[in-house]
């Protein structure tokens, strides 16, 4: 099990322990759905900034989300934006749901090989967050991101490489894979389905 923390929104700096039950509540929340739908329909960043988020790569023993004093979790997040415009594979770029298509074609077949623990679409509807275990011998988040992006054949947002970076969540149908056993010590009988719609 990996200790994870979440934040009510990007302006919130007070870490709270994240459990599978809390993640399910956050993802299923009517407020989360409202923010995602408003952001997708208007493009107004204020709605995205209201979403809860997780700092997959660090926890904050001092009680404040900041790079100073952060404790690494051993995870990192690869943030891939604008898949419909930037992905090198036309079959992914031009599909009806580029993040899901990218997951199916390039991520799902290599989940175990690449030590991926979570993959979910972003609030924009055109991006994906891939969370993976850091590689032995790679010492920074950026090095790990570069390695994983090269493995997946995709560009990525290189600005998302600090310990205090929040990965904003989205709605249940945007969660494609969640390794609950590794992240939350939940016995799921080898079922990779996130099941975030279940009570």
Between CA 127 and CA 192 the distance in angstroms is 21
What per-residue confidence (pLDDT) applies to 95? 86
Between CA 12 and CA 53 the distance in angstroms is 9
In the block, residue with structure tokens 């809860």: 52
List strands edge to edge, sheet with 175-178.
75-80, 128-133, 116-121, 175-178
| Mean pLDDT across 10-38 | 97
Given a cut of 70, whether residue 102 has pLDDT beyond it is yes
pLDDT tens digits, one per residue of 166-194: 999 999 999 999 999 999 976 655 444 55
When pLDDT is cut at 50, 70 and 90, the band that residue 159 belongs to is confident
When pLDDT is cut at 50, 70 and 90, the band that residue 70 belongs to is very high
Given a cut of 90, whether residue 53 has pLDDT beyond it is yes
Given a cut of 70, whether residue 197 has pLDDT beyond it is no
Question: Domain ranges in the chain?
Answer: 5-184
What per-residue confidence (pLDDT) applies to 89? 81
Q: Is the pTM of this model over 0.85?
A: yes
In angstroms, what CA-CA distances link 94 with 85, 102, 107?
Answer: 9, 11, 17
pLDDT tens digits, one per residue of 187-196: 655 444 555 6
- The share of the chain scoring above pLDDT 70, in percent, equals 93
**Neighbour tally for 54: CB within 10 Å:** 21
* DSSP code per residue over 110-135: GTTTTTEEEEEE-TTSS-EEEEEEPP
């Amino acid at each position: 099990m990996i200790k994870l923390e979440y934040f009510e929104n990007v302006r919130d700096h007070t870490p709270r322990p994240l459990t599978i039950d809390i993640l399910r509540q956050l993802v299923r929340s009517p407020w989360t759905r409202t923010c995602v739908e408003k952001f997708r329909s208007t493009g107004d960043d204020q709605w995205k900034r209201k979403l809860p988020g997780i700092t997959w790569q660090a926890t904050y023993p001092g009680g404040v989300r900041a790079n100073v004093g952060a404790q690494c979790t051993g995870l990192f997040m690869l943030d891939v934006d604008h898949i419909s415009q930037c992905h090198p594979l036309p079959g992914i770029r031009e599909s009806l749901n580029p993040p899901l298509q990218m997951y199916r074609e390039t991520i799902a077949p290599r989940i175990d090989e690449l030590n991926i623990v979570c993959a979910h679409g972003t609030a924009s509807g055109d991006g994906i967050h891939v969370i993976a275990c850091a590689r032995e011998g790679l010492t920074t988040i950026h090095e790990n991101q570069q390695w994983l992006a090269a493995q997946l054949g995709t560009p990525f947002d290189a600005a998302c490489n600090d310990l205090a970076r929040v990965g904003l969540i989205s709605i249940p149908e945007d969660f494609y894979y969640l390794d609950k056993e590794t992240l939350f010590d939940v016995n799921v009988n080898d079922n990779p389905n996130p099941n975030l719609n279940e009570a």
